[in-house]
Each structure stands twice: as structure tokens, then as C-alpha cells.
Structure 1
Amino acid sequence: MATIRVLSRSPTVAAASSLIRPGQRCCARATSGSAPLLLPRVSVRRKSGPYGYTQAKSLVFSQYGEPEKVLKLHTHSISPSLPPSSVLLRTLAAPINPADVNTIQGTYGVKPTFSPLIGTSEPSVIPGNEGVFEVVNPGSSSSTLSKGDWVIPAKTGFGTWRTHAVAPSPSSLIKLDRAGLTPLQAATVSVNPSSAYRMLRDYAADPPLREGDWFIQNGANSGVGRSAIQLARLWGYRSINVIRARSTAAATEALRAELAALGATRVVTEDELQSRAFRADLAAWTRDAGAPRLGLNCVGGASARALAKALAPGGTLVTYGGMSRQPVALPTGLLIFKDLRLRGFWLSRWADAQPDDKARTVAEILDLVRAGKLTDVPVVEVPWEWDTEEGVLREAVQGTLEGFRQGKGVFVFKDT
């Protein structure tokens, strides 16, 4: 039987063609006595599938390993028959953070739960802890969300590397005031600047840091480091910022100047931090207010030890990362005679235990962003369109492990 193209504009045929998949027989007839219609097979993709289903794609992994080997792109459908409390979301942007990569590798502090929920052949996990979404359908029971609102996950583990998502309830989301913001600004607010904000505010030994006080940090050109520099400038703190030397002296000086423009008081290299001359430089810089009472460590090893030596008696060293993969090992004398405090900061623990504090912190940070007082971290946009190949997305995640990147990788969703 020959295929019949549906050209009629009659309501009966139009209604039938909107409900039936290409190639499926239709009981409607164009004219009395004609053969059943067979809709033509077409290759046009439908973002909203037949019967109101939403077509979605997600990066998933079903076993631990390197992202380039274990990540897969999974296509699935989201039913229009969702519980009244559920919220259908469309992803706008989702960063690629080192902790996300560690989760895929199986080296992160908490292991995710593998699930076949989205129809994968094996129980899988959707990675990504940070991102911003647009509300597509707020659910029939929601009184706090409307279509078009921007939201971020209230807690970690949501899985943001996907074109669409279903949140279990409005309470699992934080609504943002989207006025004056770009998706990139909203997507990158809940990890780096929030970490810097909470460590500077919450972890200094009594009393808290005051205007004119010093703190010291390594990894100063990271996302957290850049946020800490800018927040410190706004709050009147002074900072000593440690960076790795670049491949050329000119590149190192360019980075010094870049951080100084953000508000860094002093910028030194790791070699300078660990040199004999640094002790005298530190004493001269901090003569009026005293040595730093707070150190922020994301490197570990010798760098963390040098930070601890720079702290004032009773100071606090906060570790929130370990890029060198070396332990924090301090001389006994620093603990006995300087009475240093060693603390750890894990953003997920804070965010999951205090979602209201997270919402307030995010709102305050975004107010600073709107006012131009807190600039975006440098990013490398990774366009994610419906036809973007799996390998392109995998390579973007794997590239996060490379050193001296131009910026944080961020999936930017287009035409999805």
C-alpha cells in the first residue's frame, strides 16, 4: 500500500496526525471509503514527543572510571502524567566542577545511588551538582512557582547534566530573582562563591574577621579563590594569595595583575611562599594588624604546611580541597606552640543541612553580581544542543582535569 501524505487541513485529520507517531496507522479517513491513512515517516525531531511526552537527554554513568570512558548519553521521555507536586524543568546551564569528576571516578567522599529511574539499561547516575533551570510546568499543587521561573537545586546530588529534569516538589528547589542575570551567572552561584562566602564568614577563630584583618589562601586563581578575593575586598579584609607560577614570567605577572584588579592585596607564587624571604615579607605586610588568622587550603601537602606557618597563634586553617593529592601534615610545634585549629569545609554538608542559609547566601551573592561588585569566574562555554554528540560532552568533562585551563567548563543548553 502506498504511503499517503496528509495534506488535508480538516480538523479530523489534523487531530489524528497530532496524536500518532510517524508510520503508525490512523483510523481517520480523508474521504468516505478511502484507505486508512499511513502517516509519512519523517526525520524531524520533536522536543515535545507524542501524547505530550517531553524528550530529554542525560549524561549518565553506570560504573566508576574516567569520564571519557564511562559517560554515556541517554535519551529518554518524561511523561506528562506527573504527580501534582512535581515540577518539570528545562536546563539552562550546568557547570563542570572537579567534585563532579571525582564523583564519576569514584574518589569523592560520598558515593551516589545508582538507579534505573530514567530507563537506562543498567542502574545509573546523572552527574552534576550545580546548574540553573527554567520551570516548564510548576505542577498543579504549586503556589510558589510559575512557568518561566529560574530555580537551582536546594540540595546536592540533583543531577544537572541533562536537558530536562523533574523535581519532586517546589521545596526541593530555590527560586531565584532572575532580573538582571544571565544563565551563566545563575548557574555558577551555588558552589564557588558560596564556599568562599561561608569560609570567610564562619571559620575564623574568635573574633570573626574584621575590617583590616588578613587571611591567606592557596589556589587563589580558582573559582573559590577569585570569589574570596572579591568578597574580602567588599568586606574590608586583606588577602595574601598564592598561585602556581605559569610557564613564562610574563604569564605569571599577567595573572598577578588580574587578581590584583579583583582586589587581591598581595599575590605570591608557591615558590615565593615557601622561600626563606617570605617570613620577613609577611611580617612587613601585616605589621599593623598582625599575621593572618585564617588560611584557606585547596592544595594540601607542602603548600598547606606553608600556609599554616604563616598563621597567627590561634589561627585556623580550613581545608576544602586537595589538588596536590598530598595529605595535610603539620609539624607538631605548630599545633603545640601556635595552638592552630584545623578545620574542614564541605559545601554539600552545609547546603544539605541548612537549605535556608543556602538560599539567603545565594540571594546575597546574586545581589552583588547584579550590582557589578562580584564578577563572573572565567568560563569555557560548552554548547549542548539536541544533536551534540556524546564524545563532545565527554571530552569537555575529561578536560576539567587538565591544568591551566582558561576557565570553568559550563554546559550551555541550546535548542533543547
Structure 2
Amino acid sequence: MEVSELVEDRGLVGVLRFADEALRLAAEQCPTWGLSQGQVGEAVGLAQRVRDAAQVITAVSAREAHSRGLAAAEGLSAADWLRTQAPTLDPREAPGVAKVAAAMTEPRWAALAAKVTSGATSVAQAAMIVRFHADLARIADPEHLQAVVDAMVEVSDVLSAREMARVAAHGRASMRPPADLADEDRAMRAGRAFKKIGETAGFIDYLLRLDPEAAAVIEAAIDPLARPRPDLDWGGDTTADPRRPETRRADALLEIVGRGVAAPEGVTRTPRTQLVVTMTMEALMERLRGAGVCDNDAVLSPATVRRLACEAAIIPMVLGGRSQVLDQGYTERYFTPAQRRALTRRDGGCTFPGCTVPPQWCDAHHVTHWADGGRTDLANGALLCGRHHTVVHERGMTATVTTTAVTWHR
């Protein structure tokens, strides 16, 4: 049966039921192991086209519901009505679908409705344009606003969602009076927030809310440091970075905070952090189990204390067997600014195999640890990014240091 005959015979609901059953059956019973490489890629592309077509049908059906007033008849908003009919619809998408559906019933949106119906413009793109018009209709010059909206509709089938968002942002800025923009910027900056909201399974949860300007600064700094970095398995072979994207971003944020005191030339002006840690000498030397306790009651393992001690201003309150204070701190063991500049010239960045993090984001690591008698000199120093500094400490890796290079032994 031809597709046109199927549509004519079964109608929209019948076709959708048939497609739903066929696709579910295909997912369960059609083997993928027999597909060629080209067919695998084609299957992914076709599945996405099916999803896009389903979104179009959702919008078209929602337009019909709006025309009949079905949501109002049940005392629901258009978005809530959609979610009662389609519980799997993303709550963030439902308002946009409802706005597009309502706009498609108005003659002034005929060009946009045609693009959505044909699938040339996504529902998300259309929702962005409709929201843009609604946000500015009361304050913008009508002719100017319409000209911008018409331009957005015209290019909506060739721009990505991110590019369309940039167009909308520029359009908003061009239509708001400068005084309004300044007031809005001040209000947005005042709305920045970073607060501790609780604890979950031993982790501390924070909420960070930023205006677009601040978010751009954070993202520009974090993105380069959050890229995957090579790891080593216990057999010594190079493997992919095992961290999740959100873990990489958290690690990148910590590196940025830790390097917040760096001088312009990349040499640390002051120690990255200052901790007062109380622990026994036996625990520090890993001769028996134990942990260090910070002034804020945080508990750190001996391995963590040893790693932080490479660069943090850690003041060890090392205790003897009866808790006598044996050593109340010494902080002269980090590499000097001159030594860090020399390490930068020699290493050029993280010395871990395959890593490309630049020197200003690296720690100066003692190849033979200071607690084991390692000296703070170039022959015992190596640059490591925060991620690989942890790996080296965890694996107990050693290296050969020459005047020109550092070679890590796996």
C-alpha cells in the first residue's frame, strides 16, 4: 500500500497508531548487527527525521485543539492540557508548543505556520520567534519589530537554534532604549547567586545562577579545561577520560578557583589554598590508616594531603604518638616563581602523555614527594594539570626528569 493510500485509508490517528506500533516493533525485533556502516548512520538520520515529523504533528494537532478551545473547556492552560494528553512531553517544551499552536491560527503568522507544517522550521525555532514578538510588542516600534520578525521567519529554516537565539538577543538589544538596557543589566547582575543548598550522600550541593554576561565568562574559562583528557588504566595503557561531562566541568571550576591568584605571566603570586591539617606522622607517611582534619572539620585522606601539599599552603600540625605537636608547619617547600618559570620553559604544559593543558593551568609537582625527602628543585619538579596530578598521586607514578623533558613511567 502506498503512503498516500495509507493516509487516506486510516486517517491521521490511524497512521500514527500504525507508525507507533511499527517503530516499537522495529526497535524490539529488527537486528542492527547486520547493518552496514552506512545503514547504521542512515538509521540514525531517519529516526531523527521521524522525531521531527512527530513534533510537527504535535504542533498541528495542538493548533486544532486551540481552535476548538479544548484546554479552556477543561479549565486548563494550553500547556497543561498538552501534558495531560502527552505525559512524556518535556515540561520545558510544552509552553513553546502551545504558543506556536496558538500563533498558527493567526493570519499574521501564516508564513511561519507554513514552514512549521512543512518541517522546514522546527517547533522550537518557531517558539523562539513567537516569544520574541510577544516580549517586545509593547515597547518596540511596530514596523521595526515586524521587519525583524519577518527576517527571523525567513531565515528560520537555515539557522540553528543557537544562532536563532543570538539573532533574538541582538534584536532585543536593538529595540530597547539604552536606559532600559542599562537598568536590565544592573538588575541581572544583582540577581547573581551562589549559595549552598544542602547535602546529598556526602556531597555538598550548590546553586549557581548567573546572568548571560557572567555565564559567558564562566563558560569561556571552563570549556577549554573541561575537555576530555587521557587517562591510564592499571596496566599502564592510555585510555579515554573516564569522567562524566559534569564531573569534568566541576574539576575545571576547581582548577580556575585554584589558579585565581595567578600572576599574568602564569606564576602563582600566592599559594593556591591554605589549609591547617592535623594528623599523625604515621598516617601522613602511610604507615598506618588515618586521616587529616582541617580547621573546618573536613576530613582528608593522607593521599589527598600529600597531593595538596605540592602547591597548597598546607600547615601540617603533625602529631606524635601521644598527640604532641612535633612540627607546627613549614610553607617554604613550594617551587618559587623563578622555578615555575623554568618549569614552564622546559615542560611547556602538562607533562602527562597526551595532555595539552597549558602551563598556567598546571601544578608544580614533586616527582619524589616532599614527605619522602624530595627536594624542591627543577630536577625533582614536573608540571601536571589538576586531573593528571591526581592520577599521578593515585597511581604512585614515577618519572625520569632531565634538563629537557619529563618521562612518566607506567
The normalised TM-score by structure 2 is 0.27
Q: Which has the higher helix share?
A: 2
Choose 1 or 2 for highest CA Rg: 2
Higher relative contact order, chain-length normalized (CA < 8 Å, sep 6+): 1
Q: Which has the higher strand share?
A: 1
The normalised TM-score by structure 1 is 0.27
